[in-house]
Amino acid sequence: MPELLHLLIGPTLETLEMVITSAAVSGLFGTVLGVLLVVTERGRVLSAPWTYRVLNTLTNIGRSIPFIILLVAIIPFTRWIVGSAIGTRAAIVPLIVGAIPYVGRLVEATLREVDNGVIEAVLTMGATPWQVIRKAYLPEAVPGIIRAMTVVSITLVSYSAMAGAVGGGGLGDLAIRYGYQGFRTDVMVGTVAVLVLMIQGMQWSGDVFARYYQRDTAPALSRGRRSLSRASRATAAFVSAGVVLGGLAAGVVTLHRSAAGPRPLRVGVCPIPHAEILEHLRPMLRRQGIELEILPFNDYIQPNLALSSGDLDANFFQHVPFMERFNHDHGTHVVSVARVHIEPLGLYPGRTRTTARLRDGDVVAIANDPVNSGRGLLLLQAAGLIQLRTGNSINTTVRDIVGNPRHLKIRELEAAQLPRSVEDANAAVINTNYALAAHLDPLKDALFVEHSDSPYANVLATLPSRASEPRILALARALQSEDDRKFILRKYKGAVIPAF
């Protein structure tokens, strides 16, 4: 239980920081957008049909971009704003950009609800367009804007779950990494419980404030309802203050962390075993004056992109064939500094318990990224299940299958999903890191394991220009130390094999 709480606190603060900051900033800009969408319309106080058309179209475009795409698409902008495309604050920028058109539309709808008669009454008083906005539209729409911001904040909580893609952390990322990929049901339940509490709190405070600003208490009911609302108003204010302070504290902690001492060495990793290996080496490196910042990623693309853009100092998640393929496809220049370990690929049983029982039409799942797909096919060939036209070349695809005596159906999936697929497939080829996270033991559970002379050793990688930096070299030495060898052998009992 204490361990669970410990796991939950950091991501909870990260989620609060992301949601509160992005709700506040998008609330501001979105309200401006919403106001403009109303007042620039033909016949309104600042009638400007062309401006209206442009804003309307931009808003629709903004609303139609899926968040996960926006997250990646605006990376240069994010870097320009917060100086890095990786981390919690980097996740806040796309959250804001994604939420602004959403807030704009909601605020627009609210302002259109304001009685036009009131607006005309204010116009007959000789109000300027700015006065009409400030003295009539906005104050009359306050309850609606509070309701809109409640909806937006809750939506931002679920969007922030995708922040894991850029190493932003948060509760969603925790649930995916520990709960989903790591089969930690307690973490999953704990995360959901925290999220439910958070969202209940937001909805309730939003409702209380909106009702307070509604100002439509009927005279007969006023006394009872007002005193009730005063009590709940106090609580709502208390809860909101708590939430805001929590978010600010989280922000201060992040700032403090980034402000203290020299910049730590930022290394992008897969959670298992790479993060665990680095955690083990942290004290040794600290004694050498090197502080590590370990950033876990959920995919295989971002760590290399973040390295190339300078957001990471190094990464430790890939093997050389993958790296070369990636460099070729993306025009990057990532180089290997040190071979560390081999994670033998394994064929794991699904609905079918042994290789011999695989029969006509059975489904075998393999990874869908170019390198791991080819590696998986080579493993299936080594196990005698299929024949490949390309022999032992690593550049192999499912189209190269020339012999498939049992007519197996090969399904390609996201590598992280493979442990989950064993319930629906007859067998699955799973990378060791994901197998370990799912509590599969490559030595006991696998039907067939890659040979130990595999070319797929995982490496510490960086950019050529930094390959000879002292800190990188110190990290490489630590990864290839005797201490590390002992740790790997002891911890993974042969499921991960040192490659130095």
Partner 1 sequence: MSVVQLEDVTKRYRNGDGWSNALSAVNLSVERGSIQGIIGFSGAGKSTLLRCVSRLEKPDEGRVLIDGADLASATGRDLRSARRKLGVVFQQFHLMRSRTVADNIALPLEIAGERPMHIHSRVQDLLGYVGLQDKQHVYPAQLSGGQRQRVAIARALATKPAVLLTDEPTSALDPETTASVLDLLKRVRDELGVTILLITHELNAVRAICDYVAVLDSGCIVEQGPVEQVFTRPMSRATERLLGKDLHLSQLATHLGKPSDHPDSVFLEIHFFGADATDHILFDVARSTDATFSILHAQIVNLNRLGHGSMLVEVSGTVSALATVQDRLRARGANVVIVEPWQNAPFTVSGHA
Does 42 engage in binding with partner 1 (CB under 8 A)?
no
The answer to whether residues 339 and 499 touch, using CB atoms and an 8 Å cutoff, is yes
Least distance to partner 1, CB of residue 241, Å: 24
Which range of residues in 13-21, 55-63, 125-133, 274-282 is near partner 1 by CB under 8 A?
Answer: 125-133
Which range of residues in 68-76, 130-138, 280-288, 483-491 is near partner 1 by CB under 8 A?
Answer: 130-138
Distances (CA, A) of 62 to 97, 101, 151, 405: 8, 6, 18, 51
Which range of residues in 63-71, 133-141, 456-464, 477-485 is near partner 1 by CB under 8 A?
Answer: 133-141
* CA-wise closest residue to 162 among 25, 270, 15: 15
Least distance to partner 1, CB of residue 116, Å: 9
The Cα 101–Cα 152 span in angstroms is: 11
Least distance to partner 1, CB of residue 44, Å: 13
Which range of residues in 122-130, 240-248, 263-271, 331-339 is near partner 1 by CB under 8 A?
Answer: 122-130
Cis? peptide before 262, omega within 30° of 0: no
Q: Which residue has the tokens 């509590």?
A: 439
139 three-class SS = helix
User: Contacts with partner 1 in 96-115 (CB under 8 A)?
Assistant: 115
Q: Which distant-in-sequence residues (6+ apart) come within 8 Å of 259 by Cβ?
A: none
Which range of residues in 126-134, 159-167, 234-242, 483-491 is near partner 1 by CB under 8 A?
Answer: 126-134
Q: Which is nearer to partner 1, 131 or 404 (CB)?
A: 131
Q: Which is nearer to partner 1, 142 or 301 (CB)?
A: 142
DSSP 263: P
Using CB under 8 A, which of 139, 361, 391, 494 touches partner 1?
A: 139
Question: Which token pair is 353?
Answer: 């318990």
Which range of residues in 127-135, 202-210, 420-428, 475-483 is near partner 1 by CB under 8 A?
Answer: 127-135
Using CB under 8 A, which of 7, 24, 135, 284 touches partner 1?
A: 135
Q: Which residue has the tokens 């399904």?
A: 411
For residue 368, with 0-12 CB atoms within 10 Å meaning exposed, 13-18 middle and 19 or more buried, which class applies?
Answer: middle
User: Contacts with partner 1 in 140-169 (CB under 8 A)?
Assistant: 140, 142
Which range of residues in 52-60, 134-142, 241-249, 492-500 is near partner 1 by CB under 8 A?
Answer: 134-142
Does 483 engage in binding with partner 1 (CB under 8 A)?
no
* CA-wise closest residue to 276 among 497, 491, 493: 491
The Cα 166–Cα 67 span in angstroms is: 13
Q: Which residue has the tokens 């699955």?
A: 428
Show the CA angle centred on residue 474, arms to residues 468 and 479, nearest 5°: 115
Assign 3-state DSSP to the chain and report helix, strand, coil percentages, each to 5.
Answer: 65, 10, 25
Q: Which is nearer to partner 1, 140 or 362 (CB)?
A: 140
The Cα 81–Cα 92 span in angstroms is: 10
Question: Phi then psi for 464, rounded to 5 degrees?
Answer: -55, -40
Instruction: Tell me how many residues contact partner 1 (CB under 8 A).
Output: 25
Least distance to partner 1, CB of residue 308, Å: 53
Least distance to partner 1, CB of residue 141, Å: 9
Q: Which is nearer to partner 1, 13 or 119 (CB)?
A: 119
Does 127 engage in binding with partner 1 (CB under 8 A)?
yes
* CA-wise closest residue to 438 among 189, 195, 176: 176
Using CB under 8 A, which of 2, 50, 64, 126 touches partner 1?
A: 126
The Cα 331–Cα 8 span in angstroms is: 38
Q: Which is nearer to partner 1, 115 or 424 (CB)?
A: 115
Does 136 engage in binding with partner 1 (CB under 8 A)?
yes
User: Contacts with partner 1 in 192-231 (CB under 8 A)?
Assistant: 213, 215-219, 222
Q: Which residues bind partner 1 (CB under 8 A)?
A: 115, 117-118, 120-128, 131, 135-136, 139-140, 142, 213, 215-219, 222
